[in-house]
Chains A and B, each alone.
Chain A
Amino acid sequence: MTKQFATVVDIAKDIASGKTSAVDVLEQHLARITEREGEINAFNLVTTEQARATAQQVDADIKAGKPVGALAGVPVALKDNMCTRGIETTCSSKILEGWKPPYDATVVTRLQQAGVVMVGKTNLDEFAMGSSTENSAFGPTKNPLDTSRVPGGSSGGSAAAVAAGFAAASLGSDTGGSIRQPASLCGLVGVKPTYGLVSRQGIVAFASSLDQVGPFTHTVADAALMMEVIGGHDPLDSTSLPQPMPSLTSVLGQGVKGMRIGRLADMPDGCEPEVLARMDAAYVALQAAGATIVDISLPSLSYCLTAYYLVAPAEASSNLARYDGVRYGMRVETGDLHSMYGATRAAGFGAEVKRRIMLGTYALSAGYFDAYYGKALKVRRLIANDFAAAYEKCDVILTPTSPTVAFPLGDKTSDPLTMYLCDIFTIPTNLAGHAAMSVPFGTGAHNMPVGVQVLAPALGEQTMFRVAAELERAS
């Protein structure tokens, strides 16, 4: 479906070989932005001039025979919760409107060193809280495949940018599914790495023990390449894993013969029948490639939503307390400090953010801590134990990424709980800190894409990518 656009691998190869120029590639992408960005609203900011300057520099370097990075000239978009020095970073919130970070996130630096051409900062649910990008303070992003529908969230802008051909790849962040679910809804590959594999330095924190950064791409090979560039230990992030970044591009052809694929014995309700049908097809395809299907269960799965909606808002309530109008961002001036805090945050934050901050504050407060946050952390232990037991019996687990295909704008905005249910399959991985990715696997209702989620244990990226590559071959 989205195979119409050039891949990262091909663009990088063609530019490096001189077959095309970085400037030409960029202009193609900019032309698509000009044509459709008005209706899609994937970007908070298109960085046209900087992109052109970077592309020109790449071409000059190649012409001069200088060494260039592995992604030289590849147009890439970044979710607008990643700090980019001197370039506005808003988290799609009024409270950070106009703020320009004085430093770059580590993943941004790594991409720059690899030679990417950044085309812009993409729209998101405000502070990454949401599953549809309808919580943005700057208007929703539309699904490029059907603009009456959401692209998913919270990284909807990054997904839409790649799906619409505005960028060859993009980065998103995933706390409860915010890369994988939009990938599924837009027909893309989306990866949430093992917690700690990709640096969080310079990523505006939502829930610190759950957040991870990962790529949106058209192909599994592109995702592997992006992961190799951004992943690996960062001394500026204390939760960064010390182990070396595993090679992913080299394992993609190894197939799945002899692998055990876990299938959830007790599936939650609420999946569209077409989604379930695609899942069945995925199992068949993997079996045909030599894998065996094993029934597993995750008994604590049904408690994960509750645990997540206590742990994440609790951490978020603390992470977002710094937006107080003192040092940067929006300030509503009043006569005294505390009313300034209140007025600034009331005006600066949207409804969903306020809701989660209140919920999180409550979950941590004296007298309620044990019953709410404390208990949620114990449920987190239970799901980690469940996964450990399951991974004794299988190598990866397959689930739908999302219970549904992309839904219409406005469909789930009246009741937050319906929106929260979008993440039923993605949340458990964040709680456990494991790896998971979504691979496009056909279409469902309304001809909209369906994604299959491959889950792997911590640092199981190589196994996960092998399965993903097999699914891609079969899709």
Chain B
Amino acid sequence: MTSQLSGMLDHFADIDKLDLSNVEPLAQPFPLKNVFREDVVVAGLDRDEVLDAAPAAEDGRFRVPPSLGLGEQ
């Protein structure tokens, strides 16, 4: 187990040394494409049910403490 451990730690550094310049990244296993949904309304969630589960709510909305300075994107 110990040799495997130190081997793994070595590999964390070994990834640095690998020349992967000609390798394409693989972010998702399979090349699916064009998965869509039709533009049709489906009934959503009940507001009361959702706000009952909220930490704080007021006036039909979620209530949060003020953001100081940061924020508006």
Q: Verify whether A and B have any Cβ pair under 8 Å.
A: yes
Chain A residues with CB under 8 Å of chain B are: 99-100, 102-103, 195-196, 209, 235, 238-239, 241-242, 268-270, 302-303, 305-307, 325-331, 333-338, 340, 371, 374-382, 384, 417-418, 420-421, 424, 431-434, 458
B41 beta carbon closer than 8 Å to chain A: no
Q: List 20 A-B contacts (CB under 8 A).
A: A196-B32, A238-B35, A306-B14, A326-B62, A328-B54, A330-B55, A331-B56, A334-B65, A337-B65, A337-B68, A337-B71, A338-B67, A338-B70, A340-B64, A375-B16, A378-B20, A380-B26, A420-B8, A431-B26, A458-B30
Interface of chain B residues 3 through 31 with chain A (CB within 8 A): 3-5, 7-9, 11-12, 14-16, 18, 20, 23-30
Docked-complex contact B46 and A102, CB < 8 angstroms? yes
| Given A235-B37, A268-B4, A326-B62, A303 and B68 contact (CB-CB distance below 8 Å) | no
Cα–Cα, bound, A226→B70 (Å) = 49
Q: Chain B residues near A307 (CB, 8 Å)?
A: 15
| Across the A-B interface, the 5 shortest Cβ-Cβ residue pairs | A433-B29, A377-B25, A331-B55, A381-B26, A337-B67
Partner of B32, one of A235, A239, A336, A340: A239
Number of interface residues of B (CB under 8 A): 41
Docked-complex contact A102 and B28, CB < 8 angstroms? no
Docked-complex contact A327 and B26, CB < 8 angstroms? no
Docked-complex contact B1 and A326, CB < 8 angstroms? no
Cα–Cα, bound, A328→B56 (Å) = 9
Partner of B30, one of A235, A241, A375, A421: A241
Docked-complex contact A335 and B65, CB < 8 angstroms? yes
Q: How many contacts A-B (CB < 8 Å)?
A: 130
Cα–Cα, bound, A326→B53 (Å) = 11
Report the minimal beta-carbon distance from B40 to chain A, rounded to whole angstroms. 12
Report the minimal beta-carbon distance from A369 to chain B, rounded to whole angstroms. 11
Docked-complex contact A380 and B25, CB < 8 angstroms? yes
Cα–Cα, bound, A331→B24 (Å) = 42
Cα–Cα, bound, A34→B8 (Å) = 43
Docked-complex contact B5 and A378, CB < 8 angstroms? no
- Taking A269-B7, A306-B12 as given, write out 18 further A-B residue pairs in contact, using a Cβ cutoff of 8 Å, ordered by the A residue number: A209-B28, A238-B35, A242-B32, A270-B4, A306-B14, A327-B50, A328-B55, A329-B55, A330-B55, A336-B66, A337-B64, A378-B20, A378-B23, A378-B24, A381-B25, A381-B26, A431-B26, A432-B29
Cα–Cα, bound, A390→B45 (Å) = 48
B49 beta carbon closer than 8 Å to chain A: yes
Docked-complex contact A102 and B50, CB < 8 angstroms? yes
Majority secondary structure, B binding face: loop
Cα–Cα, bound, A434→B26 (Å) = 14
Q: Which residue of A lies closest to B71 (CB)?
A: A337
Q: Chain B residues near A333 (CB, 8 Å)?
A: 56, 65
Q: Chain A residues near B11 (CB, 8 Å)?
A: 302-303, 305-306
Q: Chain A residues near B8 (CB, 8 Å)?
A: 305-306, 417, 420-421
Q: Chain A residues near B70 (CB, 8 Å)?
A: 338
Report the minimal beta-carbon distance from A306 to chain B, rounded to whole angstroms. 5
Report the minimal beta-carbon distance from B57 to chain A, rounded to whole angstroms. 10
Q: Which residue of B lies closest to A238 (CB)?
A: B35
Report the minimal beta-carbon distance from B23 to chain A, rounded to whole angstroms. 4
Q: Chain B residues near A371 (CB, 8 Å)?
A: 16
Docked-complex contact B29 and A209, CB < 8 angstroms? yes
Q: Which residue of B lies closest to A240 (CB)?
A: B35
Docked-complex contact B30 and A381, CB < 8 angstroms? no
Partner of A375, one of B20, B37, B46, B56: B20
Cα–Cα, bound, A431→B26 (Å) = 9
Docked-complex contact B14 and A303, CB < 8 angstroms? yes
Q: Chain A residues near B15 (CB, 8 Å)?
A: 303, 306-307, 375-376, 379
Q: Chain B residues near A209 (CB, 8 Å)?
A: 27-29
Q: Chain A residues near B18 (CB, 8 Å)?
A: 303, 375, 378-379
Q: Chain B residues near A329 (CB, 8 Å)?
A: 55
Q: Chain A residues near B62 (CB, 8 Å)?
A: 326-327
| Given A99-B53, A337-B64, A340-B65, A417 and B9 contact (CB-CB distance below 8 Å) | yes
Q: Which residue of B lies closest to A404 (CB)?
A: B1
Q: Chain B residues near A99 (CB, 8 Å)?
A: 53
Docked-complex contact A195 and B30, CB < 8 angstroms? yes
Report the minimal beta-carbon distance from B58 to chain A, rounded to whole angstroms. 13
Cα–Cα, bound, A209→B5 (Å) = 26
Partner of B49, one of A102, A326, A331: A102
Q: Chain B residues near A100 (CB, 8 Å)?
A: 53
